[in-house]
Amino acid sequence: MAKELLKGNVAIAEAAVRYGLEAYFGYPITPQTEMLEYLSKRMPELGRVFVQAESELGAVNMVYGAACTGARVMTSSSSPGISLMMEGLSYIAGTELPAVLVDVMRGGPGLGNIAPSQQDYNQITHGGGHGDYYPIVLAPASIQEAIDYIGLAFDLSEKYRSLAVLLIDGSLGQMMEPAELPEMQPVRAAYPHWAARGATGRGRIVHTSIYLNPIEQEKTNFRILSRWREVQANEVRFKEYYLDDAEYAIIAFGTAGRVALSAVRAARAAGIKVGLLRPITLAPFPGNAVRELAKRVQSLLVVEMNNGQMVDDVLANIHDQTPVEFYGRPGGNVPLADEILAEIERIVKGKLTLNGHPRDRWLDRMLTKS
């Protein structure tokens, strides 16, 4: 198919439709609303299910119910709305159902603002809802990747009976880029054996997250974790830029990753051998790739649009071998390439430490600057 100029939110919605989305439940919130608005017209047009629920709580529990039928089901929201959904997401995970969530992150905490941010990294990748569960988290950095990974989210979610989350920031939801949508694929004809779609001629199917017997709950937790180990072994994805001869490396995802790419190019033009590792799966986190990279370079710079969340996953994987520095813009700010370039120039000057936490050093620098 030819490339079209597509707005992120609309592209994700249409791509989900073409990948066989059967039911969507949601509630409006900026900067995600175009997704819901688009699907409110598109889904009924195709005879598929669209419900604007009374709230995010309603939406996520409708997703829970629809997921029990084995349907391709999705909801989307933005940070505060995602927080409201957390109880339902934990129930879906505890019931071992596939479902897809899109989080178009905005600035916060609290009501915050509608500007782009990556504040939900910890909430999404490390739980948010209660209990031991492990969503698969994909972080596209362009409209094309958003289109491709919403399809991947459905596939992985169903393959591992797990939640899959497409985690983007407001700028990816709002911007337009040329991208290619997939061909329209038919809605699935056959449903998995566990799908509850009418009881004629079969025994009962029970979908629940209630295991009053703790031993049964423990077995369920082991099953969920075993599946997660398979995900970790098979589904890690990341993209590398200019890393072959790199002496320094940036680790950044999503929009922070593409801004970092601009900074890397500017630094390369100035003769600095710096590269970029951009995690695509935030969960499973590309820990091995980070560990191997840390062995090869003199230092690492982690860039995020938050107070430093992924940086802890980086540190957990490299065991104090290599100095790590952090640069972040929280609260709904997109860093400029020049800001990251200045950080690259700073780490190239050396005198870095393995002591203390990079977040503390960053905050001190930021407070001195302002």
Partner 1 sequence: MQVDIIIAGFGGQGVLFAGQLLAYAAMDNGYHVTWYPSYGPEMRGGTANCTVIIADEEIGAPVVGSPQVLLAMNRPSLDKYESSVKPDGFLIINSSIIDRPVVRKDVHVINVPANEIAEKIGDKRMTNMVMLGALLANLPLLSIETIVSELRAHLPERHQKLIPANIRALTEGARFQLEPV
Between 119 and 174, CB nearer to partner 1: 174
Query: Binding to partner 1 by residue 261, rule CB under 8 A?
Result: yes
Tell me the residue type at 59. A
Q: Quick one: CA dihedral 296, 298, 302, 308, positive or negative?
A: positive
Least Cα distance to 113 among 332, 333, 365, 353 occurs for 332
Helices 79-94 and 56-68: crossing angle, nearest 10°?
30
Q: Are strands 73-77 and 23-26 parallel, antiparallel or unpaired?
A: parallel
Helices 254-269 and 337-348: crossing angle, nearest 10°?
60
Between 131 and 178, CB nearer to partner 1: 178
Minimum distance between the CB of residue 257 and partner 1, rounded to whole angstroms? Answer: 9
What mask, x for binding partner 1 by CB under 8 A, covers residues 299 to 338?
Answer: -----------------------------------x-xxx
- Binding partner 1 (rule: CB under 8 A), the pick from 29, 86, 263, 282 is 263
Per the listing, tokens 């950044």 go with 252
Between 35 and 62, CB nearer to partner 1: 35
Query: Binding to partner 1 by residue 117, rule CB under 8 A?
Result: no
Between 61 and 306, CB nearer to partner 1: 306
- Whole-angstrom distance, CA of residue 173 vs CA of residue 104: 7
Query: Binding to partner 1 by residue 298, rule CB under 8 A?
Result: no
Query: Binding to partner 1 by residue 9, rule CB under 8 A?
Result: no
Between 209 and 262, CB nearer to partner 1: 262
* Residue ranges in 210-229 that form contacts with partner 1 under rule CB under 8 A: none
Minimum distance between the CB of residue 206 and partner 1, rounded to whole angstroms? Answer: 45
Query: Binding to partner 1 by residue 111, rule CB under 8 A?
Result: no
- Whole-angstrom distance, CA of residue 2 vs CA of residue 4: 6
Say which DSSP state 131 is in.
S
Per the listing, tokens 């439709």 go with 17
Minimum distance between the CB of residue 314 and partner 1, rounded to whole angstroms? Answer: 21
- Whole-angstrom distance, CA of residue 266 vs CA of residue 271: 9
- Binding partner 1 (rule: CB under 8 A), the pick from 23, 102, 260, 301 is 260
Buried b (16+ CB within 10 A) or exposed e, 284-309: bbbbebbeebbeebebbbbbbbbbbb
Between 11 and 224, CB nearer to partner 1: 11
Query: Binding to partner 1 by residue 359, rule CB under 8 A?
Result: no
Query: Binding to partner 1 by residue 177, rule CB under 8 A?
Result: yes
CB neighbour list of residue 215: distance below 8 Å, 6 or more residues apart: none
Least Cα distance to 234 among 159, 174, 132, 126 occurs for 159
Least Cα distance to 149 among 170, 174, 166, 161 occurs for 166
Site size for partner 1 (CB under 8 A): 27
Between 227 and 265, CB nearer to partner 1: 265
Site residues for partner 1 per CB under 8 A? 3, 5, 30-31, 113-115, 170-171, 174-178, 255, 258-265, 334, 336-338
